[in-house]
Amino acid sequence: MTDLDTHSADRSGALRRAAPALLGYAAVRALGLLALALWSAARDKSAYTLLTARWDSLWYTRVAELGYGYEVRLPNGDVHSNLAFFPLLPWLERLGAAVTPLSYADAGFVVSLLASLAAAWGIFAVAEHLHGRRAGVCAVLLWAVLPVAVVQSMAYSESLFTALAAWSLYAVLTGRWVTAGTLAALAGLTRPVGLAVTAAVWVAAVAAFVRIRSDAVPDGAHRPERAPGDGARRVLGMLLAPLGAAGYVLWVGHRTGGGPLGYLDVQAGWRNGFDGGAAFARFVAGKFTSFPGALAGVGLIVGVALLVWLYVVCVRRRQPLALLVYTGLVVVLALCASSYFGSKPRLLLPAFPLLLPLAVALARLRTPRSALVVGGLAVVSAVYGAFWLNGSGPP
């Protein structure tokens, strides 16, 4: 058998192992889209328009069609510039529109659908590597039934980013450093939170260097054999990882004349920034000024407490350092940013390692019981997603 045959067999075997997770994911998302279509039709709205031509999806398609340089000046003086949106998704939309009859919006929808499947496969790969195949399937299904999982099917960048992040983390876990760095660079071209993937690659690589240097060997013994060039590949992966985000941020700074920090000025025009969570805390506190709002405030506090608890569980169960760094940064950047608070649920979608303890617990249940749990959550997620997207939605 040749090397090509071996690689083909490996990919084929990996796809067969992931097939139940991918089929389950597709079924859950199909249910969500069906619920959205029915709910939207009842309200005389187009479900497809909600998925492809509202909020951020409009900004992405405008970048794909016309490039950067468009901005909106609001009466209060704020400037909303499309430079705030990272370029990988618009590039793919432009490519899709160039090689197919699809419009830019159609291409964005197709990219998100394919990326969501790639993300599901990446999540399965990480979870299977750490906890086995059954836990891998459960992790994917839990990601599919999150309350705001409908965003995974929108022409947004969350699915694309999660796919790149998950496969980069899997590459780190399996020692494929150049692949990890390349995927981290692409993640950095997708969303600002790409720095979390870069940090994960760097921390894991440094930890590997330290571990190798500290390996104790008896006198006269030889160190364990390592693949030739492994250290060089690790360094190359570290060098590649930040190139995407750094390249785009520096380009924005050059274009705006704001220097290395010019991108922060662009974000400030959207009233986006990092304030340590002060604005979010004031937002939650403001909910307690009325009785109906107080219920929402309690729900927000419980949600944040659940995130913190899951992260603590991940730490206590010795989740790999790369995953802990990545997840911690995604959560902190989502909760401590002063951006629009309705966006925070979707900003947390890439934090899939938080689901691994729940996936392990779900995998321990008997199949009928776990299927009942997932089925019930899928229905709730589908109904809530349809309601949410026809209402306030994820700006």
Give the N- to C-terminal CA distance of the chain in Å, as an integer: 52
Q: What is the pLDDT of residue 213?
A: 77
Closest to 245 (Cα-Cα) out of 287, 194, 204, 307? 194
Give the pLDDT mean for 52-61. Answer: 92
Question: How does pLDDT run across 146-174, given as a tens digit for each residue?
Answer: 999 999 999 999 999 999 999 999 999 99
pLDDT for the residue numbered 337: 81
Instruction: Check residue 222 and give its pLDDT.
Output: 44
pLDDT bucket at 395, cuts 50 / 70 / 90? low
Average pLDDT, the chain: 90
Nearby residues of 275 by Cβ (< 8 Å), 6 or more positions away: 336, 337, 338
For residue 69, the tally of other CB atoms under 10 A from its CB is: 10
pLDDT, residue 228, reads 59
* Amino acid 320: pLDDT: 96
Residue 220 confidence (pLDDT): 45
Higher pLDDT among residues 393 and 46, named by residue: 46
State the pLDDT at residue 1.
46
Strands 71-73 and 79-81: what pairing? antiparallel
Mean pLDDT, residues 263-281: 84
Rg (CA), the chain: 22
The answer, yes or no, to whether residue 85 has pLDDT greater than 80, is yes
Distance, in Å, from the CA atom of 65 to the CA atom of 62, rounded to the nearest integer, reads 5
pLDDT in tens, 129-151: 999 999 999 999 999 999 999 99
Q: What is the band of 77 on the pLDDT scale with cuts at 50, 70, 90?
A: confident
Which among 319, 326, 384 has a CA at the least distance from the CA of 358? 319
Confirm if 296 and 284 have CB atoms less than 8 A apart: no
Most confident of 78-82, 138-142, 278-282, 283-287: 138-142
pTM: 0.92
What pLDDT, on a 0 to 100 scale, did the predictor assign at position 227? 58
pLDDT of residue 386 exceeding 50, the answer is yes
Query: What mean pLDDT is predicted for residues 238-254?
Result: 95
